[in-house]
Amino acid sequence: MATEKTQPHPEVRIEKDSMGKIEVPAQAYYGAQTQRAVANFPVSGWTMAPAMIAAMGRVKYGCGVANHDLKKLTETGKNPLSDQQVQSLLAAAQDVIDGKLNDQFPIDVFQTGSGTSSNMNVNEVISNRAIEIDGGDRFAEAKSIHPNDHVNMGQSTNDTFPTAIHVAVAVEIKNSLLPALTRLEQVLIGKAKDWDRIIKIGRTHLADATPLRLGQEFGGFARQITLSIGRAQKALDAVLELPVGGTAVGSGINTHPEFGQRVATSLAEQTGIPFIEALNHFEANAQRDGLVDCHGHLKTIASTLFNVSNNIRWLSAGPRCGFNEVVLPTRQPGSSIMPGKINPVMCESMMQLTARVMGNDQTLTICGAAGGQFQLNIMMPVMGHTTLESVALLASGTEAFIDFCAAEMEANEESCNAAVEKSLSMCTSLNPYIGYEKAAELAKEAFKSGKTIRELCIEKNVLPEDQLAEALDPMRMTEPQM
């Protein structure tokens, strides 16, 4: 009896790679190697971030330009391309950059440690899209614009994938994180200026301390963010060296000596970021120390944002039984059981996301230290994913914190002033007049009697009236004195 020939399901097509044939979704731009990876890694459901996909497109675009200018695509190698085909390849890479094909990148983050699966994913997508742009049949078995021979010419996953990570991270820091931090800095500087004449009590160890101005306190917060902007720039600087040009192990086998520099120049022109070719390709291929360094700065920024938002949360505690020195905008009901309760939700959101970033740093540290053996780090996909997640969380979280909290918060001058006169730390300014020991005795007696330092000083005639008024002037206490 004759065996009926099996036909592929109408929703799939047959693609072929070096391992043989495999069914692929009928209209997908990707091919066999992508499909194998989809089947092999059904792990998290997390696919490559759009920023990473765009960066991979940028790298392929830069490689295409370099190979064309060096005559590698059009005059050497197997099946040289025409100039028109090269332009189709570049146009397809641009589609990837522009996010037009984001749904064609289905591979899980937790894949082969070099990122080969995702590199071939982008090679296959650009190949088939380029064939289509060129007027060819992208479903034909023979690829007129080949994913390996043309799109991946002069490259290895081992140098292009980490290059794409560096590009993606740098672009996101430049375009998202730095603008967000700069906005927050300006908001806090504005609050510091507006609140510069509001006196409040200081707190060290969560205990009463000498007075300061609310503007001074927020000026300190603003300075923290200014320093964070510098750290964000250092994070960007840590990924400026690009491994591209090292190919498989750093030796540059199968590529032109000028290739790495030309691709770096193209990426710098595309992004406005001063990327350079790695100074040592063996280091650049094998290790991801620059990415670990980059994330270390992100972790410090996260620590700062946690601290600032938590301090603002404490300052807003109340409204009647806490400090209530800063009034935060009302965003939503705060309790399912307590009517009218309002919580500092934006501060809490910031604290949670920054905790995540600080945890992410441990992932980067482990991957950088243990993932690089000899000529390759084999934990790159999760390093790229985690770093981009951290940048995105910090940037979007900061923007939300500005829009829904920082920009609209107000000073409660009455609450700020109320605690100053009652504070026992007012006695600190008496030290130059009566000495530490006598001032301490006054503080103890004031606490025991319930009187203020001023009341006790008047009662005991500690200083002449004009001298006492000068010594206990709260505004004078907020600045150094001659």
Give catalytic residues, as residue numbers: 205, 335
Q: Which class for 467: exposed (0-12), middle (13-18), buried (19 or more C-beta within 10 A)?
A: exposed
Q: How many CA atoms lie within 13 A of 273 on its CB side?
A: 26
CA dist 301 and 236 (Å) reads: 13
- Measured in degrees and rounded to the nearest 5, phi and psi for residue 242 equal -110, 135
Is residue 178 helix, strand or coil?
A: helix
Q: Could you tell me which residues come within 8 angstroms of residue 331 by beta carbon, excluding any fewer than 6 positions away?
A: 342, 345, 346, 404, 405
Residue 94 has which token pair? Answer: 């641009």
Question: What is the token pair recorded at 338?
Answer: 């307590």
- What's the half-sphere exposure (Cβ side, CA atoms, 13 Å) at 364? 25
Helix axes 289-315, 380-404, angle to 10 degrees: 30
DSSP letters spanning 264-282: HHHHHHHHSS--EE-S-HH
- What count of residues does the chain have? 482
First vs last Cα of the chain: how many Å apart?
110
The pair of structure tokens assigned to 208 is 């009463």
Sign of the CA dihedral 194, 200, 204, 210? positive
24, 46, 171, 169: which is closest to 118 by C-alpha? 46
**Angle in degrees, CA 249, 241, 73, rounded to 5:** 60
H or E, element range at 301: helix 289-315
Q: Tell which phi-psi region holds residue 135, choosing left (phi > 0), alpha (psi between -120 and 50) or beta.
A: left
What are the DSSP calls for 398-466, one per residue? HHHHHHHTGGG-EE-HHHHHHHHHH-GGGGGGGHHHH-HHHHHHHHHHHHHHT--HHHHHHHHT-S-HH
